[in-house]
Amino acid sequence: MKTGVSMFSFTEDADLRHLFPLVKQAGYDGVEPVLSENGYLNQNTSEREILEIKKMAQDTGLEIPSVGVWSLWENNLVSNDPSIRQKAEDIIKKQIECAALMGADTILVVPGYVGCDFASIPRLLIQPLVENAIKHGMDTEGISIIIWITASVRDRALILEERNNGVPIQVDAVYAEGKVGIRNVENRIRMIHPQAVFEIGLEDGITSVIIKIPLEEDMEHEDHIG
pLDDT of 95-104, one tens digit each?
999 999 999 9
**pLDDT grade, residue 225 (50/70/90)?**
very low
Identical fold between 4-107 and 127-225: no
Residue 121 half-sphere exposure toward CB, CA atoms < 13 A? 19
**Residue range 5-23: mean pLDDT, rounded:** 90
C-alpha to C-alpha distance for 24 and 180, rounded to whole angstroms = 13
Question: Looking at domain 4-107, does it have CATH number 1.20.1250.20?
Answer: no
Residue 77 half-sphere exposure toward CB, CA atoms < 13 A? 12
Residues in a beta bridge with 154: 157
More confident residue, 41 or 189: 41
Is residue 219's pLDDT more than 50?
A: no
Query: Do 19 and 60 contact (CB within 8 A), yes or no?
Result: no
C-alpha to C-alpha distance for 75 and 66, rounded to whole angstroms = 20
| φ, ψ of residue 117 in degrees (nearest 5) | -80, -15
- Give me the pLDDT at residue 65, please: 95
Interval 154-211: pLDDT, tens: 888 889 999 999 888 887 777 776 666 777 788 888 888 888 999 998 899 899 999 9
176-205: string of b/e by CB count within 10 Å (b at 16+)? eeeebbbeebbebbeeebeebebeeeeeee
Domain ranges of the chain: 4-107, 127-225
Is residue 127's pLDDT more than 50?
A: yes
Query: Do 197 and 210 contact (CB within 8 A), yes or no?
Result: yes
C-alpha to C-alpha distance for 135 and 78, rounded to whole angstroms = 34
C-alpha to C-alpha distance for 20 and 66, rounded to whole angstroms = 15
Q: What is the pTM of this model?
A: 0.56
More confident residue, 166 or 54: 54
Interval 57-116: pLDDT, tens: 999 999 999 999 988 878 888 888 899 999 999 999 999 999 999 999 999 987 776 555
CATH domain 127-225 topology: Heat Shock Protein 90 (3.30.565)
**pLDDT grade, residue 28 (50/70/90)?**
very high
- Give me the pLDDT at residue 114, please: 58
